[in-house]
Structure 1
Amino acid sequence: MIGDLWRTSVELARSRALHIALMCVVPYACVLVGLDVAAHYGDATGAALPTQFFMSQDGSFAEFLEYSLTTASAVMLFVLWLRTRAMVYLTSAVLFVWMTLDNWGEVHEQLGFTLGAMLPVMDWLPMQPHHLAESLIFVVVGVVWLAGMAVALRQADKRAAIHGALIAACIAGAAVFGIAVDMATSWGDHAPNVLNLFAFVEDEGEFAMIVIMFALSVGIFDVEARRLKGETSGQGALRTASA
């Protein structure tokens, strides 16, 4: 299994489409990280900069890139599902759609405030109710996705299973920053500089994982498309030879 994982990972890493995607996205991503650093420094020193520089702000430059990457990943994996009928691709595509809609429409924030108002008062908990509700929403979404992925992995062939596991590892990494670091930020009172540090780690970490997930989706799509094309060409040549 380790050998198969290694060979599949090397195959994806050698994908020309993956290299091109990274060459296009990474320079722009680095500019956005620089703008976020400047925005946090300005916030800490009292020099206000445009809110679009912050990665965490709705309508920021980074948010629009994230919308594009998660949407593109969802489309590629959905097309792969149509071609292969491997459920791991459909399960991941659905999650990417959720991520896009949640990021764009502030779904978990809105639900968090709604559910937070319904929670009992817990003075002993150093966290606002809506932050706790937001974390619970992520946990529920994660459990539903994990259940679907577990079923899909059992039905998948070896290649699709490895691809699904790699995507799941990236999503788990994003969850560490999006949930664990976010909870650490919301837990108790922090000085402004500490809040800026936590926010920077959360935003940049989640952003980096989205870029990696996009690049991985491009690599999987490229490798599988070429493999399927090769199989089709081989079958066509075999039928011609038989005739």
Structure 2
Amino acid sequence: MRAALVLLPYAGVLIGLDVAAHYGSLTEAELPVQFYLASDRSFGEYLEYALTAAIAVMMLLIWRRERAVICLAQAVLFVWLTLDNWVELHETFGLTAGPFFPQIPGIPVEPSHLAEASLMLGVGAFWLVSLALAVRSIRGRALVFNLALAGCVFGAALFGVAVDLLVVWGEQGKVFHAILTFTEDAGEFAMIILAFLLTVGFFDLEYRQKRVGDRETAADCVLTSG
């Protein structure tokens, strides 16, 4: 709850700045590029780096304690997402591999964008296979949490890959293009925030339970020694 009270007002400000930046672009009153959610090194991007890195760290700590492979798979995914966001791995791949992708008739998307989408789909498929193999080894609260986190990742992928393709799909009017761009950026942003809040909640429950268990163990030891 405390994490949400701190994070959500700031996230609302960033979304408002993004709306203002898109409106400024449409009315030829350009605002600083840092106002856009998905611009490189923007305010929104820095927050996303922090959130995905924090999720990766929390999942690694849970994996270290529980040795649940699914937590390691989630941690690796969020490490990848942080690095990809920071150093633009899929954009670089798109520029490099784009010339090897043919222009598909009837699909008004540049080959570089198809290459980007193929990389992200490949990473997603590998993660899904890992998740499917690992999910059978957990039960109860851990299962519900990991499925919910997977849903957030799927939602982020829907905005980051599917809507991203719509953004670059052929010729578009300025207003329609701005709406699609905002939908992509804000949707992905919202999914990352939701994933962070879910992970914080699960992490807190796990470690609170661990502290209770440690106290009970210590109390049992005292009674036994007495």
Q: Is TM more than 0.5 here?
A: yes
For 1:138, the equivalent position in structure 2 comes to 120
When normalised by structure 2's length, the TM-score is 0.95
CA contact under 8 A between 1:163 and 1:220: conserved in structure 2? yes
Alignment equivalent of 2:195, drawn from 213, 221, 224: 213
Tell me the CA shift for residue 25 of structure 1: 0.9
> Could you tell me how far apart the structure 2 residues matched to 1:191 and 1:91 are?
41
- Is 1:172 paired with 2:154? yes
Equivalent residue runs for 1:118-133 within 5 Å = 118-133=100-115
Do the aligned partners of 1:174 and 1:205 also contact (CA within 8 Å) in 2? yes
Structure 1, unpaired ranges of 5+: 1-18
Q: Does 1:237 align with 2:219?
A: yes
Q: Cα distance, 1:89 vs. partner?
A: 1.5
In the alignment, which residue of structure 2 is the partner of 1:7?
A: none
Looking at structure 2, the residues matched to 187 and 240 of structure 1 have their Cα atoms a distance apart, in angstroms, of: 69
Q: Which residue of 1 aligns with 2:185?
A: 203
Instruction: Let me know the Cα RMSD of the aligned residues.
Output: 1.2
Q: Aligned AA for 2:86? A: W
Pick the aligned partner of 1:111 from 84, 93, 97.
93
- 1:230 corresponds to which letter in structure 2? V
Q: Is 1:183 aligned to residue 150 of structure 2?
A: no
- Deviation string, structure 1 residues 56-88 (Cα, Å, up to 9, x no partner): 210111000110111111111111111111122
For residue 145 of structure 2, the aligned residue among 163, 182, 204 is 163
Tell me the TM-score normalized by structure 1: 0.89
SS at match of 1:117: helix
Distance 2:188 2:156 in 1: 5
Q: Which runs of 4+ in 1 moved over 4 A?
A: none
- Number of aligned residue pairs: 225
The question of 1:65 aligning with 2:47 is answered yes
Percent identical among aligned pairs is: 45
User: Cα offset for 1:177?
Assistant: 0.8
- Counterpart of 1:82? 64
Q: Work out the CA distance in 1 between the residues paired with 2:149 and 2:158.
A: 15
Residue of structure 2 in register with 1:8 after alignment: none
Residue among 103, 119, 133 paired with 1:151? 133
- 1:99 and 2:72 are equivalent in the alignment: no
- Which of 23, 30, 53 in structure 2 is aligned with 1:41? 23
Q: How does 1:20-59 map to 2 (within 5 A)?
A: 20-59=2-41
